[in-house]
A and B are shown apart, each in its own frame.
Chain A
Amino acid sequence: MSKKIVAFCLFLYIFTFPTEIKSQGIKDLRINEILVYNTDNYQDNYGEKSGWFEIYNSGYSTINIGGCFLSNDPKNPKKYRIPKTGEHIYLKPQNHLVFFAYNNPTRGALHVNFFIDDTTILPNGKMFIGIYDQSGKFLIDSIYYNLQDQKENISIGKLENTHSSIWQPMRRTTPNATNNIDDVKTRSEIYGEKDPFGVIITITSMSVVFLLLLLVAVSFKFTGNYFKKQNKAKQAPPKKQTNTTPPIQAQNTNEIAAIAMALHLYINDNYHEEEATGFHIQRELNQHTPWENKTLNFRKYPNKK
């Protein structure tokens, strides 16, 4: 029996073993798009055209980014702390937020105190942008990029909703918007095109439904066998039948069905008394507890006498 249990657990483990653990919350933040040289593109609310980078909430819950750190230097992760107050700190699911990088933090929370162009080149010759959690120790996402590859007014970005980490030049910049410029089809549209008659979905889904319920059935076959053996072991040897009372003749078969149903449902519950010759379903007299009994919770009127 134990071998079967081990084999079953192993099967379950293999079947359900996760290949990738996905996080929820702050770890869903992604650096999504960067424009290093901005001479004729997106401008901030001061009319300034500067380098900018975009953060994207790839998850499905609103993230509070207040207190997180942004930096262009991996050795100094706490370079710019995102203020903990203001509307900008709540980044909704699948939403974007642009930070302007021209070293002017006095112009608001979305203006960082560093540049993303040629002022901080790392020893490996590359530039860096990173976002860190509130402790400044955990790097959530980062990008290293070559300055010589950057062109004026052409941003680089990652396609969303894919697991690709390849950065590529964008056909047009998309600040505060999705990088997927092309018309994105919904899953149902894709399935509608791939499987116009619904046969593939039918075969796949019915296979999964059968497999799943077969799995449940096999599981309970195992547990059932185990409990049956246990019950047999517990059962005492049968006593000799001494009762000579003739069997009761039921008026109709519905009564037998009702009694059988009641026996089946309640034989293991504590609603009845154990008796040698009968089965008696006992009505519970007091089903109330002080928690739900209103009369016990009402305040008594003061005695006026």
Chain B
Amino acid sequence: MDFLNTILENIQHFLTFTGFANATPGHVIMIAVGLLFIYLGIAKKWEPMLLIPIGFGILVGNIPFTPGLQLGIYEEGSVLSYLYLGVVKGFYPPLIFLGIGAMTDFSTLISNPKLILIGAAAQFGIFGAYISATALGFSAAEAGAIGIIGGADGPTAIFLSSKLAPDLMGAIAVSAYSYMALVPVIQQPIMKLLTTKKERLIRMKPPRTVTQTEKIIFPVIGLLLTTFLVPSGLPLLGMLFFGNLLKESGVTRRLANTASNSLIDIVTILLGLTVGASTQATSFLTTNSVLIFCLGAASFVVATFSGILFVKFFNLFLNKDNKINPLIGNAGVSAVPDAARVSQEVGLHYDKTNHLLMHAMGPNVAGVIGSAVAAGLLLGFLG
């Protein structure tokens, strides 16, 4: 009889360790969010490379357990906590930027440098969110971390929030990646709202052929100019331009291939999974997270508005042959290449022979540089 009692006690004891015994409504909500992300990634194909790792990470991070077993991402010594170090210490984002640099073709930007300014204008989204966040009572450092969601660049958002507001990083990262996935949904109505039919039909001059020497010079001069003025952007800009030099030099194809394929894939897996896992219900389901999501949406809207309006303003000073189609203004927010793809789709909707993709890639990659510079500035001011 004692033997049976001991077994029953053991089973009861075991049951206290299970997820069922430790689950809270918060865990259930977060698991539902994770499942939604996975669904959107697979069924709707919205940024599957990001939403599936993050969605699955949310499931991993919200399996209820008894604390103290070195399981959770925030528990010292757990495997997940080691994988999360790349986020906490901020070394995943620069590695991703290396890959982005190695896979990005800056030739449209080089052939038509004035498009770079659209990438600058779209950074108003960051500072619009910054002002709103301070008005809502966030501290300056927290507001800076939240504002960077408007840069539409996940790695930059993680990099800056890990430095300025580590407690908000989970919400900021999930918000940034979610809205990047929703770029087609957010941007299209704004683009249609702000442009006339005549403007949408503007045909831009085809970009000129860029020589390889120019492509090699670009990352070198780009690095020197940007980081001399904003040294705090060095980790991101340095890696971005380095990756691009690997690609364009023509003599380091293997390194460029690794950076733009295996390396960025590995880091994306680790980053997505751990960022997802960092959204534990206990720390994630707060009023602040809801506010961050609202501010993130607002920042994307402001960024799109400012990009398009800037092109319209810029067109006032350009002659008839050099006008810019305002439908590429939205691409000034980073979100490479989704934002440029949106320009192409909306452009084709109104003129089936007007391909804007190549033109939109200019402000799109300029947006990457612009958001990294803005992040560097915020880090310099508030870090």
Contacts and interface: CB of A to CB of B under 8 A. Distances in A.
B131 A187 contact: no
Contacts of B139: 188-189, 192
A219 B214 contact: no
Interface string B241-257: 00000000010001000
Interface stretch (B45-53, B118-126, B195-203, B270-278): B118-126
Contacts of A218: 113
A135 to B, nearest CB: 31
B113 A209 contact: no
B191 interface: no
A227 to B, nearest CB: 5
Contacts of A181: none
B331 to A, nearest CB: 14
A187 B105 CA distance: 37
Contact of A198 (B107, B130, B164): B130
B287 interface: no
B10 to A, nearest CB: 49
Contact of A216 (B130, B141, B225, B353): B225
B131 A198 contact: yes
B44 interface: no
A238 to B, nearest CB: 16
Interface string A264-297: 1101110000000000000000000101100000
Interface string A250-267: 000100110011001101
Contact of B105 (A208, A253, A265): A265
Interface string A195-210: 1111101101110111
B209 A219 contact: no
Interface residues of A, number: 51
B269 interface: no
Interface residues of B, number: 61
A191 B382 contact: yes
B230 interface: yes
Main secondary structure of the interface of A (DSSP, over half): helix
B369 interface: yes
Given A198-B131, A219-B225, A264-B209, A209 B254 contact: no
Interface string B111-136: 10110110111011001001101110
B377 A192 contact: no
Nearest to A194: B140
A24 interface: no
Nearest to B109: A220
Given A206-B127, A209-B123, A220-B218, A198 B110 contact: no
- Which one of A213, A223, A289 has the highest number of Cβ atoms from chain B below 10 Å of its Cβ? A213
Given A220-B218, A227-B211, A187 B117 contact: no
A216 B226 contact: yes
A287 B355 CA distance: 33
B377 A197 contact: no
A214 interface: yes
B207 interface: yes
A217 B121 CA distance: 14
B77 interface: no
Given A198-B134, A216-B222, A223-B217, A264 B207 contact: yes
A108 interface: no
A210 B313 CA distance: 15
B377 A227 contact: no
Contacts of A212: 120, 225-226, 229-230, 373
B164 A188 contact: yes
Interface string B139-156: 111011000000000000
A108 B180 CA distance: 60
A228 B113 CA distance: 14
A224 interface: yes
Contact of A208 (B218, B373, B382): B373
Interface in B197-236: 207-214, 217-218, 221-222, 225-226, 228-230
B239 interface: no
Contacts of B210: 227, 268
Contacts of A215: 225, 229
Contacts of A188: 139-141, 144, 164, 381-383
B41 interface: no
A5 B99 CA distance: 33
Interface of B: 105, 107, 109-111, 113-114, 116-117, 119-121, 123-124, 127, 130-131, 133-135, 139-141, 143-144, 164, 207-214, 217-218, 221-222, 225-226, 228-230, 250, 254, 348, 352-353, 355, 357-358, 366, 369-370, 373-374, 377-378, 381-383
7 contacts: A188-B164, A188-B381, A192-B139, A195-B140, A205-B127, A264-B209, A265-B105
Given A192-B139, A208-B377, A214-B117, 17 more contacts: A191-B140, A192-B140, A196-B134, A197-B134, A198-B133, A201-B140, A205-B127, A206-B124, A208-B229, A209-B377, A216-B113, A217-B117, A224-B111, A224-B208, A257-B355, A264-B358, A291-B254
